[in-house]
Amino acid sequence: MNILITGGAGFIGSRTAAALVQRGDRVTIVDNLSPQIHGDAAAQTQVATSLSEHTNFIHGDVRDIDLMKSLARDHDAVLHLAAETGTGQSMYDMVRYSDVNVTGTAALLEAVTASDSKIRKIVVASSRSIYGEGAYRCTSHGLVYPGDRSPIAMDAGNFDPRCPICDQEVAVAPTPETAPLTPASVYAVTKLAQENMVLAVARAHGLSAYGLRYQNVFGAGQSLSNPYTGILSIFSREMVFGRSIEIFEDGLESRDFIHVSDVVRANCAALCADATGIHPINVGTGIGVSVETVTAELARLLDYTGDIRVSGRYRAGDIRHNIANVDLFKTELGMTCDIDFRTGLEEFVTWSRAELMRGVDSDGYARSLAELAEHGLMKGG
């Protein structure tokens, strides 16, 4: 197939492009090489040169409708990854987030549905963040959705959600695709808008489409320079440069970390000619790992002996836990994950340590936290 990837210079896109080329597809990438992800002009040129070796790389913007229309004429499918991705940053940089993520998706869809477009399939990167707090199990009421946590409880150090019916303790449960969608950040709202727009347009035009709800994707190659996203990147930088680590809440909050190579396999499966549905699908492992465990494992692998402080502070819009229900992932895409968290983390640490030692240190993370505090989004503690 001829496959177009928006945001294809990024972490997930560049790896998916390489895998698609290897299986025999022709790939075009459109990416604006955002400096927040790709660094300065010299670093951007390096990325563009390397991608041009095996793909048709176009330095362009997904919001450029004419460009997207011209590309829709000779591609069979599109993988839409281009996005602004920082949850915290989206809570004060709202116009930029909705412009790139929502207007960008609208521009792509106008191109896909133009009369001379050849595109018959759209795969969009959705996100676990659209669930907000996700599913929990109450011993009296079964599967429940507690929704947003109470700031009063969190200020008092009680971070766990409670049953919305009887207010008893609940245990985290895998969140199915049918869960209520209650995005808790502007980023998450834009990801939900992207998914809804793609699925609605696909249904109306008889195209096939998947909204792949990625969990926390990690692995060698993720941006180490973007201070707004990725706990593994942020904590490994802080540890390699000997700074202290602040763990928010009580450290027991957890995420479902999926290795990028499994996400690439999911993208490739959704981009197969015989995958013809119109569905949202969770892309995760179904296993939660706490921030405390992530930090301890990183410290062990990086020989970090500095200060690790559990601060009790929290960021507005953060959720407590999220773990994917992966039933559809298995049945619709035939997927199970190949790489467990510890194996993936070892590979990530080997790569990130070498990269960080070769590069330049930055105070970006401290700056990003100061920005959150300035906007009143850093609470508790």
Ligand X SMILES: NC(=O)c1ccc[n+]([C@@H]2O[C@H](COP(=O)([O-])OP(=O)(O)OC[C@H]3O[C@@H](n4cnc5c(N)ncnc54)[C@H](O)[C@@H]3O)[C@@H](O)[C@H]2O)c1
Q: Binding residue for ligand X (CB under 6 A) from 27, 58, 62, 186?
A: 62
Residue 381 contacts residue 312 (beta carbons within 8 Å): yes
Q: Is 104 in the site for ligand X (CB under 6 A)?
A: yes
Q: Is 109 in the site for ligand X (CB under 6 A)?
A: no
Handedness of CA 256, 261, 265, 271 (dihedral sign): positive
Q: Is 280 in the site for ligand X (CB under 6 A)?
A: no
Structure-token match 């969190």, residue found: 154
Q: Is 10 in the site for ligand X (CB under 6 A)?
A: yes
CA 54 to chain centroid, in Å, comes to 25
Q: How far is the CB of 161 from ligand X (least distance, A)?
A: 21
Angle at 245 between CA 344 and CA 370, to 5 degrees: 115
CA gap 9, 223 in Å, rounded: 11
Q: Is 111 in the site for ligand X (CB under 6 A)?
A: no
- Amino acid in the structure at residue 206: G
Q: Binding residue for ligand X (CB under 6 A) from 3, 4, 5, 12?
A: 12
Tokens matching residue 2: 């001829």
Q: Is 132 in the site for ligand X (CB under 6 A)?
A: no
Query: With respect to ligand X, which residue has the nearer C-beta, 45 or 244?
Result: 45
Measured from the Cβ of residue 254, the count of other Cβ atoms closer than 10 Å reads 21
Sole window of 78-86, 148-156, 201-209, 295-303 interacting with ligand X (rule: CB under 6 A): 78-86
Query: With respect to ligand X, which residue has the nearer C-beta, 39 or 312?
Result: 39
Q: How far is the CB of 60 from ligand X (least distance, A)?
A: 7
Query: With respect to ligand X, which residue has the nearer C-beta, 18 or 310?
Result: 18
Residue 224 contacts residue 300 (beta carbons within 8 Å): no
The residues with which 78 forms a beta bridge, in sequence order, are 4, 122
Q: Is 257 in the site for ligand X (CB under 6 A)?
A: no
CA gap 1, 75 in Å, rounded: 8
Q: Binding residue for ligand X (CB under 6 A) from 100, 172, 186, 269?
A: 100
Q: Using alpha carbons, list the distances in angstroms from residue 2 to 79, 106, 123.
A: 11, 21, 14
Q: Binding residue for ligand X (CB under 6 A) from 3, 5, 13, 78?
A: 13
Residue 161 contacts residue 170 (beta carbons within 8 Å): yes
For 367, the enclosing helix (H) or strand (E) is helix 364-374
Q: How far is the CB of 7 from ligand X (least distance, A)?
A: 3
Query: With respect to ligand X, which residue has the nearer C-beta, 53 or 303?
Result: 53
Query: With respect to ligand X, which residue has the nearer C-beta, 67 or 302?
Result: 67
H helix count then E strand count, the chain:
15, 18
Map residues 152-191 to x or -, x wherever contact with ligand X holds by CB under 6 A: ---------------------------------------x
Residue 228 annotated as catalytic: no
Q: How far is the CB of 224 from ligand X (least distance, A)?
A: 11
Q: Is 28 in the site for ligand X (CB under 6 A)?
A: no
Query: With respect to ligand X, which residue has the nearer C-beta, 160 or 318?
Result: 318
Q: Is 32 in the site for ligand X (CB under 6 A)?
A: yes
Query: With respect to ligand X, which residue has the nearer C-beta, 30 or 72?
Result: 30
Q: Which of 136, 187, 210, 365 is catalytic?
A: 187
Q: Please provide residue 29's backbone torsions phi and psi, each rounded to the nearest 5 degrees.
A: -110, 135
Q: Binding residue for ligand X (CB under 6 A) from 5, 28, 77, 85?
A: 85
SS (H, E, C) 250-301: CCCCEECEEEHHHHHHHHHHHCCCCCCCEEEEEECCCCCEEHHHHHHHHHHH
Residue 200 contacts residue 115 (beta carbons within 8 Å): no
Q: How far is the CB of 165 from ligand X (least distance, A)?
A: 30
CA gap 270, 202 in Å, rounded: 14
- Contacts with ligand X, residue ranges (CB under 6 A): 6-7, 9-13, 30-34, 37-38, 61-63, 81-83, 85, 100, 104, 125, 127, 191, 214, 216-217, 223
Residues annotated as catalytic are 187
